[in-house]
C-alpha cells in the first residue's frame, strides 16, 4: 500500500519535473487517444481517419505559424482502464494536448488524469452531461445530447403526427447511454407523448428477445434507443426480425456507418440526429470531404468530422497562443505551452466542417446547426448512408 503510494508520488514528480524542464518538440506532438480495438473501434476508426486528414490538411497549410504538428496515437480500447493507460502514456510522450477518449464512460475515468497534469483534453465524441465539468483543462467539440437528441424525436413526429406511444430502451452500464436516455425521456414528456415501456440492456448483450417482446406487447408506435454501436445495431435488427414495424429513433451510438453491417438491410429507415452533415456548405468542409473521400473511398460521417474539428481547434489555438504570448510554442516548455493552449482554446471561434463553433470558458461547445438523417441501405446490405431529412 505505502510502496504503491510512494511509486505514484515519484511518478507524478517525475512527469512534473520533466514537463517543466522539457521544451515542446518540433513537430509539435498532439495526442490522439481513441478506440482502435474492441467494439468501440467502430467509432474509433472513423476518428483516426478524421484526425489524419486534419493533420495532413493543416500541415499543408503551414501548421502552427510555420511549425508542423504530429499526431501521436494511443489505442484506448473500449473500457476505462484502456483510456487511463493511453492518457498516461501520452502525457509522458510530451504531447501538448489530448484528443479523446471515444466514450463518455472512458472520459470520466481518464480526463481527470490529464486535468491534474494541466494538459488540455479536447473530447471528440463525449456527449453526456458533465463532461466539461470534469475540470478546467477539459473541453469538447461534440455537442451534448441535450442539444442534439430531441431533434430526432421532433422529426419522427413531423413524419408521423399520429405517434403517441413510445418505447424507450437504453444500455444501463454506459454513462453516455444513461445520460442520453434521460434527455430523450424528458423530451418525450415535453412533446406530450406517452412512454409505454422502458427497457434496459447491457452494451455487451447480443440477444434482445426479452426487450423486443416487451416493446411488441406495449403497443409502441415509436422506439427510442440509447446504446453503443454493436448493441444498438443488433437491437434494431431483432426489433425488425421479430415484427416491429413502427418508427425507430437511434441515439448517438447509431451515428456511425461502421454500424451498418450489424443490422444490415434492417438498418434502413432509422432516424438519427447528427452534429454534422457532409453537405454543409463551407470551404473547410468541402476540402475535408474531398480529402477524406479521396483517402478512404467513402464520404466522412460525424465522428470523423468531429475528430477533424478537434485537431483544427488545437492547431488554431496554438497559433493564437503564439500571437498572444509573442513566443513560439517550440520555444516554450511543456507546462507553459499546455496552459497557454488551454486558454487560447476558449477564445474566439472556429470555422470547421461542423460549421462555426466556439468553446466557452467552461469548456462547453457552442454549435449553431444540427441535422436529422435517415439511414438508407445499399443493395449490398452492408453499406449505406445517412440521408439528410429536409
Residues 198-237 that bind ligand 1QQ (CB under 6 A): 228
Which residue's CB is nearer to ligand 1QQ, number 128 or number 225? 128
At 65, is the secondary structure helix, strand, or coil?
coil
The reply to whether 176 sits near ligand 1QQ by the rule CB under 6 A is: yes
Per the rule left: phi > 0, alpha: psi between -120 and 50, beta: everything else, 201 is beta
The reply to whether 51 sits near ligand 1QQ by the rule CB under 6 A is: no
Q: With beta carbons less than 8 A apart as the criterion, state whether 125 and 149 touch.
A: no
Residues 231-260 that bind ligand 1QQ (CB under 6 A): 252-253
Which residue's CB is nearer to ligand 1QQ, number 231 or number 322? 231
Which residue's CB is nearer to ligand 1QQ, number 58 or number 176? 176
Q: With beta carbons less than 8 A apart as the criterion, state whether 338 and 97 touch.
A: yes
CB of 111 to ligand 1QQ, least distance (A): 12
CB of 16 to ligand 1QQ, least distance (A): 30
- Residue 46 CA, chain-centre distance (Å), reads 10
At 337, is the secondary structure helix, strand, or coil?
helix
CB of 149 to ligand 1QQ, least distance (A): 10
Radius of gyration of the chain (CA): 21
Which residue's CB is nearer to ligand 1QQ, number 67 or number 151? 151
C-alpha cell at 169: 430502451
Which residue's CB is nearer to ligand 1QQ, number 130 or number 361? 130
Of the listed pieces 63-71, 99-107, 287-295, 368-376, which binds ligand 1QQ according to CB under 6 A?
Answer: 99-107
CB of 250 to ligand 1QQ, least distance (A): 10
* Among residues 36, 49, 88, 126, the one that binds ligand 1QQ under rule CB under 6 A: 126
From the list 169, 84, 165, 174, the residue with the least C-alpha distance to 127 is 174
Q: Please provide residue 34's backbone torsions phi and psi, each rounded to the nearest 5 degrees.
A: -130, 170
Distance between CA atoms of 70 and 226, rounded to whole angstroms?
35
C-alpha cell at 259: 454500424
The reply to whether 342 sits near ligand 1QQ by the rule CB under 6 A is: no
* Among residues 128, 134, 259, 280, the one that binds ligand 1QQ under rule CB under 6 A: 128
DSSP per-residue letters across 257-320:
GGGHHHHGGGGTT-EEEES--TT--SHHHHHHHHHHHHHHSS---HHHHHHHHHHHHHHHHHHH
The reply to whether 103 sits near ligand 1QQ by the rule CB under 6 A is: yes
The reply to whether 36 sits near ligand 1QQ by the rule CB under 6 A is: no
From the list 228, 260, 216, 184, the residue with the least C-alpha distance to 40 is 228
C-alpha cell at 111: 480526463
Binding site for ligand 1QQ (CB under 6 A): 43, 102-104, 125-128, 176, 228, 252-253
Amino acid at each position: 500500500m505505502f510502496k504503491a503510494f510512494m511509486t505514484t508520488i515519484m511518478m507524478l514528480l517525475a512527469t512534473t519535473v520533466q514537463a517543466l524542464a522539457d521544451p515542446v518538440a518540433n513537430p509539435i506532438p498532439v495526442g490522439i487517444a481513441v478506440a482502435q480495438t474492441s467494439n468501440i473501434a467502430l467509432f474509433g476508426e472513423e476518428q483516426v481517419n478524421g484526425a489524419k486528414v486534419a493533420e495532413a490538411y493543416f500541415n499543408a497549410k503551414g501548421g502552427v505559424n510555420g511549425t508542423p504538428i504530429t499526431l501521436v496515437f494511443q489505442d484506448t480500447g473500449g473500457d476505462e482502464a484502456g483510456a487511463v493507460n493511453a492518457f498516461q502514456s501520452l502525457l509522458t510522450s510530451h504531447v501538448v494536448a489530448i484528443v479523446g477518449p471515444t466514450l463518455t464512460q472512458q472520459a470520466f475515468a481518464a480526463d481527470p488524469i490529464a486535468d491534474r497534469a494541466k494538459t488540455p483534453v479536447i473530447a471528440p465524441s463525449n456527449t453526456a452531461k458533465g463532461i466539461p465539468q470534469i475540470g478546467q483543462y477539459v473541453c469538447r467539440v461534440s455537442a451534448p445530447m441535450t442539444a442534439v437528441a430531441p431533434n430526432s424525436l421532433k422529426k419522427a413526429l413531423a413524419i408521423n403526427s399520429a405517434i403517441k406511444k413510445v418505447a424507450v430502451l437504453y444500455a444501463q452500464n454506459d454513462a453516455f447511454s444513461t445520460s442520453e436516455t434521460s434527455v430523450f425521456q424528458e423530451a418525450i414528456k415535453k412533446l406530450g407523448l406517452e412512454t409505454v415501456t422502458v427497457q434496459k440492456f447491457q452494451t455487451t448483450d447480443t440477444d434482445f428477445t426479452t426487450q423486443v417482446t416487451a416493446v411488441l406487447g406495449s403497443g409502441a408506435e415509436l422506439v427510442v434507443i440509447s446504446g453503443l454501436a454493436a448493441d444498438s445495431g443488433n437491437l434494431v435488427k431483432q426489433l425488425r426480425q421479430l415484427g416491429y414495424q413502427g418508427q425507430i429513433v437511434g441515439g448517438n451510438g447509431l451515428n456511425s456507418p461502421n454500424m451498418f453491417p450489424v443490422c444490415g438491410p434492417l438498418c434502413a429507415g432509422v432516424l438519427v440526429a447528427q452534429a454534422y452533415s457532409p453537405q454543409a456548405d463551407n470551404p473547410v468542409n468541402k476540402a475535408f470531404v474531398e480529402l477524406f473521400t479521396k483517402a478512404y473511398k467513402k464520404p466522412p460521417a460525424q465522428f470523423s468530422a468531429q475528430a477533424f474539428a478537434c485537431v483544427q481547434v488545437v492547431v488554431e489555438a496554438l497559433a493564437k497562443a503564439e500571437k498572444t504570448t509573442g513566443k513560439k510554442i517550440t520555444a516554450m516548455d511543456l507546462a507553459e505551452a499546455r496552459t497557454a493552449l488551454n486558454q487560447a482554446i476558449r477564445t474566439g471561434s472556429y470555422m470547421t466542417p461542423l460549421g462555426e463553433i466556439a468553446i466557452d470558458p467552461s469548456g462547453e461547445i457552442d454549435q449553431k446547426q444540427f441535422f436529422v438523417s435517415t439511414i438508407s441501405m445499399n443493395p449490398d446490405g452492408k453499406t449505406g448512408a445517412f440521408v439528410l431529412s429536409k
